[in-house]
Amino acid sequence: MIDAVNLTKKFKDITAVDGLTFHVDEGEVFGFLGPNGAGKTTTVRMLCCLIARTSGESRIAGYDTGNDSDSLKIRKIIGLIPENVGLYGELSAYRNLDFYARLYDRTEQQRKESIERLLRLLGLWEKKDHPVGTFSKGMKQKVAIARALVHDPGILFLDEPTANLDPGAAKTVRDFILELKKEKKTIFLNTHNLEEAQKLCDRIGILKTHLLRIGTPEELKEALWGSKTVIGLEEVSDMIVAAVKQHTSGKVVVEDHRLVIDVKNAGQENPGLVQAIVAAGGRIQFVQEFSPTLEDVYLKTVRETP
């Protein structure tokens, strides 16, 4: 549905996006994580035909983003929520959405049904006749989401959709994205919010001008951290460490009164490790499988890659 091959964008001597290659399936929620200046917004702008690529290829539903004729077709089938909402403050929420729906040649009946449905879903129907300029940031962001969906696109690009929103408004937006996910919309999400990415995304790419890692949250955790068992002990002795090393080929690290052990299959290996420790005189306080967070994975990836 969304394809990029060696996609690159340069602004004079600055390379903003460097050789991106990835594929997003139809109905998938794909997330881009990366620090400020990583190239996330630039990538979205290229995919949405707002700026030209420098080199490489990119296609949306088979259409070439670099072809003028195809770019018009792409704009009809995508929705975009940019960093800045870009609404007409003097117009009401309803009139904003009606204006944009007309640009997509929606009939009057289609416009009415779509606008009412979206505003009701986002909790704004009672405010439909109020000027958008009087709305809070969260309310404006909801109108921007409705605007991106008013022509019922199959593909949606979200650039930091919950940035600067209070927790309540951010939750409403996330819940709405989950509803879109149920409708099998293809969603490309730029975000700094790691919890948001964890909850919403099927796969995640970590970007720092070039693509550092890509995979499901669990695949990223496994690739960077592997599977580990943490065993807390009353006291760690050389005899206990030696006994553990005889029962595993994985790395064994001593951290105060804990052993951190690399394992391939915790369910199969942990019983043997426990028996070895007890036989060596160890007094076990707890046994747990270590599970890194997406934040751990993100920070490790970004910090260790120049």
Instruction: Kindly report, residue by residue over 16-70, the tens digit of the pLDDT.
Output: 999 999 999 999 999 999 888 899 999 999 999 999 999 999 999 999 999 999 9
Strand-by-strand arrangement of the 55-60 sheet = 14-24, 2-11, 55-60, 63-64
Q: What is the DSSP letter of 36?
A: T
Between the CA of residue 89 and those of 76, 143, 144, 165, 199, what are the distances in Å?
25, 11, 12, 18, 32
Instruction: Kindly report, residue by residue over 157-198, the tens digit of the pLDDT.
Output: 999 888 778 888 888 888 888 888 898 999 999 988 888 898
Q: Which residues pair with 53 in a beta bridge?
A: none
Which of 2-6, 191-195, 237-241 has the least mean pLDDT? 191-195
* Per-residue confidence (pLDDT) for residue 83, from 0 to 100: 80
Smallest CA-to-CA distance from 261 within 283, 240, 279 is with 240
Domains in the chain: ranges and CATH: 2-215 (3.40.50.300), 226-291 (3.30.70.100)
Q: Are 166 and 6 in contact (CB under 8 A)?
A: no
Q: Which residues contact 63 (CB under 8 A, 6 or more apart)?
A: 70, 71, 73, 74
- Ramachandran angles phi, psi of 260, nearest 5°: -110, 115
Instruction: Kindly report, residue by residue over 196-225, the tens digit of the pLDDT.
Output: 898 899 999 999 999 999 999 888 877 776
Q: pLDDT at residue 291 above 80?
A: no
* Per-residue confidence (pLDDT) for residue 187, from 0 to 100: 95
Smallest CA-to-CA distance from 119 within 138, 93, 141, 99 is with 93
